[in-house]
Structure 1
């Protein structure tokens, strides 16, 4: 039985099936995302969603969906599913689904009377093309398959509505057509591996609704344009492949291309293999540059997320070369920032004060998982330049004070990973001496000093600053209750119990002694640990708001006020293993197992952005989040090392 398989009972229950989404990417920015019953529930959903750099920096939905109709003896059975006003679903094709599985590729099995039809989908790597293979598994009489494309040609941030400007023009191409609704967009090629007839029957399907957008407090209604339909006979045992892309393709090659792409996939037949497949989806190649997308479906490449995610998404699964390829682009972005240069690199938020220190941490993981010599050879100059830049006070919003601590101004703008804002101002205005910034700073100072110990003057300078930092860190952050203040700005001290203290206990170099680390880990365990990550705020602290629901402003206030984040648990479990060593293994294994049920809900085979901080710990936000997947993979790698000791 497939690891990721869903039966008829669940699939025909829309309350269950519409909450489960499937994501596939081409690793160059394009993706396909929908629910397991192919009913789009978000404006970000679509069969072919691609970047259109000529228009803007967003993704665009070209082909929203493709409805199948099985015709036998003149009777039509439409397998499509769309939501309309008043909780009406039409044409309710989900009732014909017998099973869905996606161990290798998303596969749906339909049964209509004596007809059994199999549908398989695959995205061509590094090409804006979706392939769908239809196989008539069984049929007792002549069968016709009709396919009706729903077109959007719009940004994922917008909606399309019936209008007179949309072009109805199309041209015939080999076994299909090409069309483009608006100027500036590429043409959409829809072709088949078999000859077919296209019936031009233009119409708008009005009032299609997206309930996930309604839940989020956004507009949720649009119209989709259907230019007509394709129709062909299909025989028992025959396979016909559909290709939707922005360039023509040799249709005789489609069946072979589909088979080739399937063979390249790693089966999602275990928890770890699901995460490895998902890790690959975040890798994003644009021209000569390679990035890590922060998540799907709406995130771009954010600098902090990239550096935190990179070791887990690559090194932890033995893919050193991919780490080095992404770092080539990341290094360019770091130097462009430090030199004050404008760049067309698509790495965002490089200016945040902790980003350069996370870059040092990333290289530190490379040194641990590959070798210190290789790290020094490849990234040694980068480390020296970053530490000199920071120590010399050149960062526009990170100053090294005489006490050795780093200071950043976050009153007006969110500068940490807790970055939610309302009316342009941070919900949590973390400013001054920020606990994880100074944990990162101390760790970076000691690591780079150790790596360049033979460079006496440079190493001595960093160690001298670190000595001051260590004393000031304890004096500033450690309180009489044994945990660390979240931030300190003059007489302002934030006593909230937050997870940001865990980094001081997790990093290789820490100003805390063993007893102090244990105190931090113990209070995180007691007040912040959940089965789905570490809470962003303790229930005992003021302002606890654990449910990430409702309209945008309501969600912004809850975003970092009690919601649980899996990526933080990676650092928590690393600290836990440091303190309790082999006796911690069974505990860490149990925490990892608690994520396995996510493989069959929310986004199938992935981990969502965050979870509610209270039971039942519902997954929320982006359907697939890089830092979460990365830190679970890095934890599994740490666990394996302890098991092998």
Structure 2
């Protein structure tokens, strides 16, 4: 039985089915995203959404959707579904759905009278092409299928309105047509595995609505162009494949291409397999290198997100080579920045001050997956170079103070992951000594020492770095640990920020922490009481007057709320690390129970993945980007750590017998 399977009762209930979304990507920046009933509810939804480097490197919706119609005895039964007003849906094709199954590929089963039709969708890896396979499982009389393509040709964050500037021409190609609505866009090729009849019948479909955008307080209505329809007969037991792409394909290869793509799929038959499948959706490979996308449907590559996600999305799923390829691309970009001041075109926000620190943390996870020797041989000089770049003031907006701590100016613009801002000004102006920056710094120094400890040629250098690390440890405790037993979020001169925030979890979750076990436990207890939820750590304690647990409202309201209470799953990875540091293998049971909260999300939101954030209060509804790399990565990393500790516990039990 499939892990991700929804029956007729749920599918025909739009209140239950519309909030559930699905995502497939080509691992090169293009994607297909919609709801499980095929009704687009966001402007970023679409059947074929691709980046266009020649224009702006942003995602663009070419093919918004494809309406299928079953024709028997001259009677049409339209399987499409669009929203045209609040509570107004047409043509209500969801009422024919009998089942949705997403174990291997998204598969919808329709029943129209005596007709049973299945629809399976596959996005082809590293090609701007989606294939949809239609199979007529049952039919008692001659059957035809019609297909109406809804075209957008727009930026995924914009909306289309009826206009006279579109190019309505279509050109015949083998088993289909090509079209391009506006100059600068690539041609869209729509083809079938067998010859269809094309009927040119151009119309605007006005007033298509996206309720998710309406709820976000942003424009939500658009007009879509339908240039006509395809029609072709289908026999019982026959399969027909539809292809939408930015190049003309050979219809004779559709079946082989479809079957080959299936062999690379991770069947989503468990919590782990769902996350593994999701992790690989974030991969981005192009001529410049290999990357991890921050999330879908509206993020590109962002340096901090990539580094946070990297260990979980590669090493935790046994993709060591992918870690090495992505890290190689990243280190080259970081080197260009530190040496020449050149910012990478693909990796956004690489010039933020904490990026070198997160780079070392990601490399540290590589050692945990391999060995100190292998890590030193591959990345030792990179770690050493980054530490020296920080010590010598080569990192933008990151200064080493005489007390060994790092300072950064976050008053004018955000410098940390708490990056909410209005008109460019940070809502939370974290500046001066920033908690996680200095926890990462101490951890980086200790990690560097551990890599070169015992190396005869590095004895003096190790002693030098050890002296600096001791100074950092002493200053860290004196600066951040307060009389209440927890850690200030940031300290700027005489100002100490008393808000209880989850950056404490990062500080105590490091492999090397400036705090001793007793101090860690005290901080951990406070985090557990005030910040821990089944969906991650709250970004602010509910005891704070500024607490806003729900990420809703217009853009400004959401910007004020985003870091003032909603929970984030990625922070649970550091909480689990800290928990294991304090309790060892005896803490596995508790962490396993907490992971159930994330497993529950596999059938909610974007099925098989994790949303960007969750409300800080029950029922902890998912919000923001539907699928987020650092959330998926950190839960995968935690699952791997739990598995390893369970093995250790089993070995200890057997040895004690």
TM-score (norm 1): 0.99
Aligned counterparts of 2:2 and 2:122: Cα–Cα separation in 1 = 18
Q: CA RMSD in A?
A: 0.9
Aligned to 1:534: 537
Contact 2:343 2:351 in 1 (8 A): no
Aligned counterparts of 2:8 and 2:429: Cα–Cα separation in 1 = 49
Aligned to 1:464: 467
Deviation at 1:344, TM superposition (A): 4.9
What are the equivalent positions in structure 2 for 1:296-311 lying under 5 Å apart?
A: 296-311=296-311
Q: Kindly tell me the number of residue pairs found equivalent between the two proteins.
A: 645
What are the equivalent positions in structure 2 for 1:328-477 lying under 5 Å apart?
A: 328-453=328-453, 454=455, 455-477=458-480
Aligned counterparts of 1:128 and 1:56: Cα–Cα separation in 2 = 17
Deviation at 1:593, TM superposition (A): 1.2
Deviation at 1:504, TM superposition (A): 2.1
Matched, 1:597 2:596: no
Aligned to 2:5: 5
1:201-231 residue CA offsets vs partner (Å, 9 max, x unmatched) = 0111000000011111100010000010000
Contact 2:344 2:350 in 1 (8 A): no
Contact 2:333 2:344 in 1 (8 A): no
Aligned counterparts of 1:19 and 1:86: Cα–Cα separation in 2 = 15
1:257-300 residue CA offsets vs partner (Å, 9 max, x unmatched) = 11221122110000000000000011100114111101101111
Aligned to 2:19: 19
Aligned counterparts of 2:516 and 2:263: Cα–Cα separation in 1 = 51
Gaps of 5+ in 1: none
Aligned counterparts of 2:541 and 2:86: Cα–Cα separation in 1 = 40
Deviation at 1:336, TM superposition (A): 1.2
Aligned counterparts of 1:28 and 1:43: Cα–Cα separation in 2 = 21
The answer to which of 20-29 and 359-368 deviates more is 359-368
What are the equivalent positions in structure 2 for 1:30-429 lying under 5 Å apart?
A: 30-429=30-429
1:314-342 residue CA offsets vs partner (Å, 9 max, x unmatched) = 11111100000101110111101101342
Gaps of 5+ in 2: 649-657
1:125-154 residue CA offsets vs partner (Å, 9 max, x unmatched) = 000000000000000000000000000000
1:153-200 residue CA offsets vs partner (Å, 9 max, x unmatched) = 000111111111100111100000000000110000000001110000
Aligned counterparts of 1:457 and 1:346: Cα–Cα separation in 2 = 39
Deviation at 1:306, TM superposition (A): 0.9
Deviation at 1:409, TM superposition (A): 0.4
Contact 1:496 1:542 in 2 (8 A): no
Q: 1:507 aligns with which of 491, 506, 510?
A: 510
Q: 1:632 aligns with which of 605, 630, 635?
A: 635
> Secondary structure in 1 aligned to 2:256?
helix
Deviation at 1:452, TM superposition (A): 1.9
Aligned to 1:554: 557
Contact 1:442 1:511 in 2 (8 A): yes
Aligned to 1:494: 497
Contact 2:199 2:229 in 1 (8 A): yes
> Secondary structure in 2 aligned to 1:314?
helix
Aligned counterparts of 2:459 and 2:538: Cα–Cα separation in 1 = 43
Aligned counterparts of 1:375 and 1:235: Cα–Cα separation in 2 = 59
> Secondary structure in 1 aligned to 2:67?
strand
The answer to which of 459-468 and 92-101 deviates more is 459-468
> Secondary structure in 2 aligned to 1:644?
helix
> Secondary structure in 2 aligned to 1:291?
strand
Contact 1:608 1:621 in 2 (8 A): yes
Deviation at 1:450, TM superposition (A): 2.1
Aligned counterparts of 1:637 and 1:344: Cα–Cα separation in 2 = 32
Matched, 1:520 2:532: no
Aligned counterparts of 2:513 and 2:361: Cα–Cα separation in 1 = 13
Aligned to 2:653: none
Matched, 1:29 2:29: yes
Contact 2:588 2:642 in 1 (8 A): yes
Matched, 1:577 2:580: yes
Aligned counterparts of 2:264 and 2:469: Cα–Cα separation in 1 = 48
Aligned counterparts of 1:270 and 1:34: Cα–Cα separation in 2 = 22
Deviation at 1:503, TM superposition (A): 1.8
After superposition, the Cα gap between the structure-2 partners of 1:67 and 1:313, relative to the gap in structure 1 and judged at 3 Å, is same
Deviation at 1:633, TM superposition (A): 0.4
Contact 1:162 1:204 in 2 (8 A): yes
Contact 1:333 1:345 in 2 (8 A): no
Moved over 6 A (4+): none
Deviation at 1:491, TM superposition (A): 1.0
Matched, 1:485 2:491: no
Aligned to 2:591: 588
